[in-house]
Chains A and B, each alone.
Chain A
Amino acid sequence: NAGVTQTPKFRVLKTGQSMTLLCAQDMNHEYMYWYRQDPGMGLRLIHYSVGEGTTAKGEVPDGYNVSRLKKQNFLLGLESAAPSQTSVYFCASSPPDRRETGELFFGEGSRLTVL
Chain B
Amino acid sequence: GQNIDQPTEMTATEGAIVQINCTYQTSGFNGLFWYQQHAGEAPTFLSYNVLDGLEEKGRFSSFLSRSKGYSYLLLKELQMKDSASYLCACMDSNYQLIWGAGTKLIIKP
Contacts and interface: CB of A to CB of B under 8 A. Distances in A.
Contact of A43 (B41, B87, B91, B95): B87
* Tier of interface size on chain B: 20 to 34
Contacts of A101: 31, 48
Contacts of A43: 43, 87, 89, 97, 99
Interface in A56-115: 58-59, 90, 99-109
B16 interface: no
Interface string B21-49: 00000000011010000001111110010
Contact of B102 (A42, A58, A102, A103): A42
Interface string A35-70: 000001111110000000000001100000000000
Interface residues of A, number: 20
B42 A99 contact: no
Contacts of A109: 40-42
16 contacts: A40-B8, A42-B4, A42-B87, A42-B102, A45-B96, A99-B95, A100-B30, A101-B48, A102-B97, A103-B45, A103-B48, A106-B42, A106-B43, A108-B41, A108-B42, A109-B41
Interface of A: 40-45, 58-59, 90, 99-109
